[in-house]
Every structure is written in structure tokens, then in C-alpha cells.
Structure 1
Amino acid sequence: MTRKLERLGTLNEQDRSALRDLPLTARRTAAGQHLLREGEDSTTCYVLLSGYACRYKTTSAGARQIVSFHMAGDIVDLQHLLLSRADHSIQAMTELTFAATPAAELKKLVQSHPAIAEALWRDTLIDGSVYREWVLNVGRRDAKQRVAHMLCEFAARREKAGLGSPASFELPMTQDDIADATGLTNVHVNRMLALLAAEGLIARDKRHVEIEDWERMCEAADFDPAYLHALAA
């Protein structure tokens, strides 16, 4: 968490010491398990330490829309500093290790350390920028662009988090997850992945993906990483 906040702002030794003193409880959960369900009350914020998670909402009929993917270093549910009721669910997509901290303790930390408050505010603003891009992706891009854009964003964010090269990676999400993130069917996602491979943009072996030509892939995806704000640094 400290490494991420230092990308988002300038922290001094007092700030770092205060972060080290923050009460954190490390937990582990299996893929498919929930950290939080929509409608629950929560007074906890979560820092992801390893693995991948998603946030999602469901319609009254049970249809799921994934609204974001998260990886190591992400601080999810800062909203619980001020809002106690969850308006979405958080689910582990892989085995997940995370640290839980009481929202009240994090709120006290923010109030007494302006640099930490600014870094968390910047993180929230970047989340908003990513959400706007996801709305554009689902609402206005065609099927191939939606899937390609999701892959580009995942690769770029993964690299920034220090998790490896954007050219080659394992997808933590299933085709059902990709479908629920892009507003497509599982069958349509499979066709788009096959099309991207046929066009020489990616090579795929089950969940392993290699991006063969980053510039062409970005062009095909309509992907401009400016909205990520280089995740602040």
C-alpha cells in the first residue's frame, strides 16, 4: 500500500510510519469467494496483496455486470470511509491474499496526514477515469474493440503494478468474466479472441496471452492509455 501511495503522492517518513502502524489483518480466500456483497453494511477497507478480484453489480433478474478488475496493490472500497452500505459486490477471481483495515482507522489516518489523504483522493479520481472509459467501452465500441481494449488495459495496469511484461501474461478471468465485463456473450467473446489471434494481434494458449504487436493491438482496441494517468506516476 505504501508503494502505491508513493506513486500517487509525496510521502514523508511520518506518513510512512503512520501507514506501518495502521492495523491490518491479513486474510486469504479462494477463487469465487466474496469479500463483500451488494447491500451489506461494511466498516472495512481492503488492500489486495496478491491475486485478482473484480467488482460487480447484478440486475434484479440476476444478470451480472463486472465494473472493474483489481490486482495487487489496489485499495478497494475507500467508499467505506464515508458510506457504510455496499452498492456493489467484490469477488475473488483467483486465490486472493488481502489485508483488511477498519475504515475508522484509515479515516483517522487521512485526517491527520494530508499527503496520504491527497494520494487516496488521486487514486479515487483515477478510478473514476477508468470507470468512464469502461462506460465508453461497453456503450460505444464494437465487440472486437471491447475485448481488445480490456486486454490492453489489463496488460498496462499489470505492468505498472510490477506484475510483469504487458507482452505476455496469464489471464485471471474466465471467458464468462470477460463477457460480463464487456456486455457480450461467452460465445461472442470466444469469437473475438479467435479473431484477434487470426489477425496476428495476440497468440493464445488457454488463459496465456501474448500480444504480438502492441501498437497494432492498441489501434485495433481504440486504446489510449491517457485515461490511466499512468496510474499517477
Structure 2
Amino acid sequence: MLPPERSLHVDYPIVVTDHLIAKLATRVELSAADRVAIAALPCKLRTIDQSTYMLREGQRPLRCAFVIDGFAYRQKLTPDGEREIVSILMPGDFIDLQNLFLEESDHDVQALTRITVAEIPIPALREIVAVSPKIATALWIEALVEASIHREWLLNVGRRNAKMRLAHLLCEFSARLRASSLSDADGSYELPMTQEQMGDALGLTPVHVNRVLRALETDGLITRRKRQIGVVDWCALRDAAEFNERYLHLTQTRP
């Protein structure tokens, strides 16, 4: 069972489905009928406090959630409680799209910050997928892009050194937030992760994360002010990380 949640439930405004339409329209060219069908989805807007579990391993999922605001993360736990953060979920991401056809969750999802999501009952999404090939294609692309990001994270933890791993994570945040117009005009952004959480995503200790952040700052690649990250030299940071944003498929749009 999930722990009690301090969350606000309200009927959704039309702007919620506008977010969904805008997201799926970046993947395929939607017809007027597709847009009407998406707008008719029975969404529920839900705001969830930081650190709240949104999905637990072994839970039978009933809804798919779409991030409107805030951040979450997927994690896997070992039997003795050791944690590996396996992906970060940002505004515009589906949290549990894979559970559209899977009967049981195989990982946990936890709110990284206070987060607002639009929840859609799984039967409603299954129905819209069955009648609209374009919407089905858009959701399939979303799942494929998420798999691509997982492959890059596996490479990052398995084959890059500590400095490259951390630089790569900072580059990914910068690229994804910039593509969603969520970074500042100068490209800076607030990093929502603690050093402990970054360590759990990169296979490093918090002390090692702090040391590498200082090194990137000393090298003139980034600036730090509390959790605000400024990218001083994008090309140098990208080179230090061996970062190529191809795996994010940010321009993936199919007419």
C-alpha cells in the first residue's frame, strides 16, 4: 500500500489537455479529430508533495500521469535498501506510460520536488490508442525516447569516469530544460537534485559529487549559486562529458 499522501485533487482545467496536445504534437502531426479526442480525455489534476511515492514496485497501476510542473525520478532498490536513480522526469514527460499495457510496476517513482501531474485512467488511454493511429504513434515514440535515455544512462554509469558522468548529467538537464523553455535566458537553471541524489544517479558518493562539482567550477565550465547552475562554456562542458544530445531525440517529429 502507498503511504498517505498530502495531495490536492481538483477537476482539470482545459489548459491541462492543452499541455498534452502540445506534447504529442511534437511527435506527430495531429488531426483536428485527434486534438478533440485528447481534449476529451478524463484527466485529473493532482499536486503531490516532495518525496512522496507516486508509484511503488509491485503496485498494479490504474492511471498514467503526465508531468505539468515539477520533477520526479524513477528508482530501483536492492533488498538491503541501496538505491539507484535510473531516470529523471521533467515537465512534459509521461511518468508511467509503460504501465499502459504492463500489469505490475517494476520500479518506484518518487516526487523529486513538489509536482503537479495530469492523471489519465488507463482504460481511457487504451481506448484512444485503439481508435487513433497517430496518437498511438506519438505515445510509442515517447516510450522509445525514454528507452533511448535509459541506454545513455547505462553507458554513463558503466563506462564514463566521475567527471564525465556528472558533466553529462548537467548537460542533459541543460538540453532538456532549454528545449522545453524552462531554463533562464542565459541558459542557467535550478538543479532540483541534492548531491546525495546525484550520487545515487551516477554511482558516486555525495563527497565525490561535491569534489567533481568544484572541479567543473574551477575549470571554468560552470558556476554554482546554491542549486543554481550556470553553464559558462557549453562547448567545453559538452566535450568534457562526451555529450551528444542525439539520444534525447529533441527534434523527433513525424508528419
Structure 2 residue 217 is matched with structure 1 residue 183 = no
Q: Which runs of 4+ in 1 moved over 4 A?
A: none
Give the AA of the match of 2:179. K
Q: Distance in 2 between matches of 1:38 and 1:176?
A: 22
Indicate the larger mover: 157-166 or 139-148: 157-166
Counterpart secondary structure, 2:166: helix
Equivalent position of 1:145 in the other structure: 164
Q: Distance in 1 between matches of 2:206 and 2:145?
A: 29
Structure 2 residue 62 is matched with structure 1 residue 43 = yes
Instruction: Give the superposed CA RMSD.
Output: 1.1
Q: Residues 184, 231 of structure 1: CA spacing in aligned structure 2 closer, same or farther, 3 A cutoff?
A: farther
Indicate the larger mover: 222-231 or 210-219: 222-231
Equivalent position of 2:218 in the other structure: 198
- Pairing partner for 2:154 from 127, 135, 141: 135
What TM-score does the superposition give when structure 2 sets the normalisation length?
0.89
Q: Distance in 2 between matches of 1:27 and 1:108?
A: 22
Q: Distance in 2 between matches of 1:12 and 1:84?
A: 31
5+ residue gaps, structure 2, are: 1-19
- Pairing partner for 2:180 from 155, 161, 164: 161
CA contact (8 A) 1:167 1:214 kept: no
Equivalent position of 1:28 in the other structure: 47
Equivalent position of 1:7 in the other structure: 26
Structure 2 residue 232 is matched with structure 1 residue 212 = yes
Q: Distance in 2 between matches of 1:136 and 1:85?
A: 27
How many Å apart are 1:2 and its aligned residue? 1.2
Equivalent position of 2:128 in the other structure: 109
Indicate the larger mover: 79-88 or 16-25: 79-88
Counterpart secondary structure, 2:104: coil
What TM-score does the superposition give when structure 1 sets the normalisation length?
0.97
Counterpart secondary structure, 2:26: helix
Q: Distance in 2 between matches of 1:23 and 1:224?
A: 38
5+ residue gaps, structure 1, are: none
- Pairing partner for 2:138 from 115, 119, 142: 119
Percentage of pairs with the same residue: 45
Give the AA of the match of 2:121. P
How many Å apart are 1:79 and its aligned residue? 1.6
Q: Per-residue displacement from partner, 1:4-45 (whole Å, max 9, x unpaired)?
A: 111111101110110010001111111101111111111210
Q: Distance in 1 between matches of 2:120 and 2:251?
A: 23
Counterpart secondary structure, 1:35: strand
Q: Distance in 2 between matches of 1:206 and 1:138?
A: 25
